[in-house]
Amino acid sequence: MSEKNQNAQNRSKPSQKKTSSATVVLNRFLGVLLAMVIVAVTGVVVYALRIGVDVPSHTSGTVVTDPNAPPTEAFVPTTTTEEETEPEEDPVERLALDHLAEMTLDEKLAQLILTSPDSLTDSYYRTYAGDRAAERLEQYPVAGLIFESGNVSDAEQVKQTVSEWQSYSRLPLFIGAAEEGGAESLLSGVGLTTPTESMLTYGTAGDTDAVRALGKTMGEELYAAGFNLNLAPVADVTSEANAGTALAERSFGASPLTVSKMAAAMVRGLQEGGEIACLKHFPGVGSMQEGYYSDTLSRTLDELRENDWLPFKNGIAAGAGMVMVSHVSMPELLGSEVPCDLSETVVTEYLRGELGYDGVVVTEDLDSIPNAYSANASVQALLAGCDLIYTTDSVGDALAALQQAVADGTLTEERVNESVYRILLLKCRFGIVTE
């Protein structure tokens, strides 16, 4: 190599070294800058997701799957706008709230009572309404009336009497009967409903479509006669111990799964026919060894959950407008002889809490409650979580006890409003109250 070329090569080396150092610095700077950009973008995305996504709340309870239930529609999310629109007000809820706002305290308390034509008029076997009915409804504007055998003589008489009772009431009444079918069929005897086999016969056959059709026909016939409430179906799961009893014939059987399907089908059928269905007798009395009229029930909480409550869960899922709670006592479960319809544990903790029922809860007839609880039974039932006090005893005594409880603070008007609203909402949803 010539001396000239060697000198030229030597002069170029410092320049290359400088270029290499600058490149390293630049690359490092770009790397840091890129990392900062990635961190910033990630932060923005996370923040946007946290704002835009709602976290679902979790509730306790078991989801009940009913084979007769219609398929659930898929949820389709909607796009949000800058300004959220207010949900449309339910006109039925508004109608119930409007009536509640117009009622006096005494009217609200009377609306908590369900009774019979005889009890309201202090008479026996009353087959007509008349002036006495008008006077008593003015004095005691009760929620409704349950017709019994003494109030029924023939088809035309029943329809005429029902119409008269409704005409005398400022707020339309529940007009009901315990038309279960089979032997427990008061109105089929006068031709107002079609005679049927026992519910056990239908449960044994296992045809839910037939039971739903039966309920729909029965509901339409009751509705045509002026009735809007049926204290049925029986949702009790029976046992071998009470085979052959009246309760066994009234129930759909001893299989919790069968009774669950049948009770749900009957609820749907009755309510499609225009009648409010009432599941009974929570927490389930089918395991009584002496039949339904025994006072106590030996049943563990696990047994109730695994057997007796399944038909009530399915009936509730089917939309039952009402649930009746029994007088039966469960000392092993509750630690006392308190009747179940006066027990906050049974009504509020189990029926409303665990089973998730938010509809109208009615007591069994308080006329047959043990004497130790009779004096203040109507108040105890409300405090337990019931809404309707069913009594065929003195309506005046029941109302007076409620009035006194509000006066001394035992029962708040807020608690009264809660039950009256449920009752009014049920009447509005079934077209009993329309304006």
pLDDT at 85 over 80: no
Instruction: Kindly indicate the confidence band of residue 370, based on its pLDDT and cuts at 50, 70 and 90.
Output: confident
Instruction: Please compute the mean of the pLDDT values over residues 83-89 and round it to a whole number.
Output: 70
Instruction: Please compute the mean of the pLDDT values over residues 387-394 and round it to a whole number.
Output: 95
Q: Across all residues in the chain, what is the average pLDDT?
A: 85
Instruction: Please compute the mean of the pLDDT values over residues 293-320 and round it to a whole number.
Output: 92
For residues 86 and 30, the model is more confident at 86
Single pTM value for the model = 0.80
Instruction: Please compute the mean of the pLDDT values over residues 262-271 and round it to a whole number.
Output: 98
Confidence (pLDDT) at 208: 97
Instruction: Please compute the mean of the pLDDT values over residues 224-238 and round it to a whole number.
Output: 97
**Helix/strand/coil (H/E/C) assignment for every residue in the chain:** CCHHHHHHHHHHHHHHHHHHHHHHHHHHHHHHHHHHHHHHHHHHHHHHHHHHCCCCCCCCCCCCCCCCCCCCCCCCCCCCCCCCCCCCCCHHHHHHHHHHHHCCHHHHHHCCEEECHHHHHCCCCCCCCHHHHHHHHHHCCCCEEECCHHHCCCHHHHHHHHHHHHHHCCCCCEEEECCCECCECCHHHHCCCCCCCCHHHHHHHCCHHHHHHHHHHHHHHHHHCCCCEECCCECCCCCHHHCCCHHHHHCCCCCHHHHHHHHHHHHHHHHHCCCEEEEEEECCCCCCCCCCCCCECCCCHHHHHHHHHHHHHHHHHCCCCEEEECCCECHHHHCCCCEHHHCHHHHHHHHHHHCCCCCEEEECCHHHCCHHHHCCHHHHHHHHCCCEEECCCCHHHHHHHHHHHHHCCCCCHHHHHHHHHHHHHHHHHCCCCCC
What does the pLDDT look like over 37-62, one tens digit per residue?
554 545 544 344 343 433 333 333 34
pLDDT at 339 over 60: yes
Confidence (pLDDT) at 36: 60
